[in-house]
Structure 1
Amino acid sequence: MATASASIAGRSLEQKNLRIGLMALVMAAVMVGMGFAAVPLYQMFCQVTGFGGTTQVASESDAAMAERLAASAGAPPISIRFDASTARGMPWTFAPEHTTDTVQIGTRDLAFYTARNNADVPITGAATFNVEPEQAAPYFNKIQCFCFTEQTLQPGEEMRMPVLFYVDPAALDDPNMEGVEQITLSYTFHRARNEDKPEGGG
Structure 2
Amino acid sequence: MIKKKTLTPVLLGGIFFLMLGLSFAAVPLYDAFCRITGFGGTTQVSKEAPNIILDKVVSVRFDTNVNNLEWDFKAKKNVIDVKVGQVNRIEFEVENYGEDTTYGVASFNVSPASFGKYYSKLGCFCFEKQALKAGEKATYVMTFYLDPELVNDPTTKNLQDVTMSYTFFSTDYYKQS
**Which TM class, normalised by the smaller chain length?**
0.7 to 0.9
Q: Which residue of 2 aligns with 1:200?
A: none
Q: Which residue of 2 aligns with 1:189?
A: 168
- The ranges of structure 1 where at least 4 consecutive aligned residues each deviate by more than 4 angstroms after the TM superposition are 29-37
Question: Post-superposition shift, 1:34?
Answer: 4.6
In 2 relative to 1, CA 100–39 (structure 1 residues): closer, same or farther, beyond 3 Å? same
In 2 relative to 1, CA 94–39 (structure 1 residues): closer, same or farther, beyond 3 Å? farther
TM-score by length of 2: 0.83
Q: Which residue of 2 aligns with 1:169?
A: 148
SS in 2 for 1:131: strand
Name which of 56, 62, 65 aligns with 2:44.
56
In 2 relative to 1, CA 196–103 (structure 1 residues): closer, same or farther, beyond 3 Å? same
Q: How does 1:108-123 map to 2 (within 5 A)?
A: 108-123=87-102
Q: Which residue of 1 aligns with 2:52?
A: 69
Larger strand share, 1 or 2: 2
- The RMSD of aligned alpha carbons is 2.7
Unaligned 5+ segments in structure 1 are: 1-8, 198-202
Q: Is the 8 A contact 1:116 1:158 kept in 2?
A: yes
Q: Is the 8 A contact 1:150 1:192 kept in 2?
A: no
Question: Post-superposition shift, 1:37?
Answer: 4.6
1:42 maps onto 2:25 in alignment: no
Matched residue count: 175
CA distance in 1 between counterparts of 2:29 and 2:70 reads 30
In 2 relative to 1, CA 127–31 (structure 1 residues): closer, same or farther, beyond 3 Å? farther
Q: Is the 8 A contact 2:45 2:120 kept in 1?
A: yes
TM-score by length of 1: 0.74
CA distance in 1 between counterparts of 2:120 and 2:62 reads 15
Larger radius of gyration, structure 1 or 2? 1
Cα distance per residue 1:100-137 (max 9 Å; x no partner)? 01111110111011112233222221111111111111
Aligned partner of 1:75: which letter? D
Cα distance per residue 1:128-148 (max 9 Å; x no partner)? 111111111111110010115
Aligned partner of 2:61: which letter? R
Aligned partner of 1:77: which letter? V
CA distance in 1 between counterparts of 2:20 and 2:85 reads 43
1:19 maps onto 2:2 in alignment: no
1:132 maps onto 2:120 in alignment: no
Larger helix share, 1 or 2: 1
Identity of aligned residues (%): 34
Unaligned 5+ segments in structure 2 are: none
